[in-house]
Homo-oligomer: A and B are copies of this chain.
């Protein structure tokens, strides 16, 4: 039983699928695997959702021993070895071995009420929401006369200057300065103010000094305001309150986007309580070196749900962990010795900063600029699932490169709705169907 079809969970399921003596159930609340590293390109109108999100079922056609279920796991009973999940009806499923790969959501550091005015970017719905907010802000500004209200629509604040925040800011700058240039009559989209804010003293804090400095220069060159060493103290529909080295501040903006922190799936906390494992501040569970939970060799956890050494919460870590977990399970079935403890091999890190401009740190080899961007593009295309998507994405990048044109620029009223509303409505819809 694998909970979560992200990088880690999918890797476990795909590797175990090859064995006829294993029955795999892959359960996810979305019907697709999401290639998160390109999600920001959906938010900014370059790619369509389907291009980075193959349906999970497609990946297991012909694998009769794999069952994919669309359902939200509510709880895990480690004594009875069952999980309870919600879909059309409540279901309870038994497991022999459990792999928790449920990932992480956004963390608002105790201020969940900010989510409504500062949406994060974890799912496709999130990406559509951000896309609609960004494009809608320009539209609203166009309809208004000059003044503070219009300025607030033309001000975009991105909280969090890690790779996601930097990518979003860079794409937003390009969108406003190039793609949308000449589209409006009463505003100039080029004049949009884009603010990137972080509590850390520099952008891309996980990168080394030299690349951080280069990224800073590039971000400033394309006209992004960097507000570092500054914390958000309040977020509302009109803007954000901050406190930083220059004291208390405020930025008036109707579009605040959140890329600041992650919190592991609440299932991690549930498992920690049930098994006595410890939990860190981000809600991640401490696992043994073989990625199992203490006293429960039948339960594995991986990816963004775990805290192990200083392994970062990136796709390559989840992939390696998934590979390892599948290996442990396979060796158990073959009654072989367990493998050596999990060892993370850092293959380097990359972040895209502007259009065809990236920083990459590959085994100590530091590159910034076009070359890094090419490395970035090759690596991301290679890790994508599905040839059709690869082909289309390359074509779209090429087209966008030539024409600055972006096709996927839909404003959808529905996608503006907050997730909480979607969930409560979904709940009531299910109740209507099950009440007879």
Contacts and interface: CB of A to CB of B under 8 A. Distances in A.
Nearest to A403: B388
Given A67-B186, A125-B415, 18 more contacts: A31-B139, A31-B410, A48-B48, A48-B51, A49-B408, A50-B409, A50-B410, A55-B183, A57-B180, A61-B183, A67-B185, A70-B136, A88-B140, A88-B143, A128-B412, A129-B414, A414-B415, A414-B417
A70 B182 contact: no
A91 interface: yes
Interface string A36-61: 00000000010011110111011001
B409 A413 contact: no
Given A30-B411, A69-B142, A237-B433, A416 B422 contact: yes
A182 to B, nearest CB: 5
A89 B139 contact: no
A87 interface: yes
Nearest to A145: B89
Interface in A152-195: 153, 180, 182-186
A426 interface: yes
Contacts of A70: 136, 139-140, 142-143, 411
Interface in A109-139: 124-125, 128-129, 135-136, 139
8 closest A-B pairs by beta carbon, nearest first, are: A48-B48, A88-B140, A50-B408, A70-B139, A87-B143, A57-B183, A31-B411, A50-B407
Interface string A64-80: 10010111000000000
Contacts of A45: 50
10 contacts: A31-B411, A51-B407, A71-B143, A129-B414, A413-B426, A414-B415, A416-B422, A416-B429, A417-B421, A417-B422
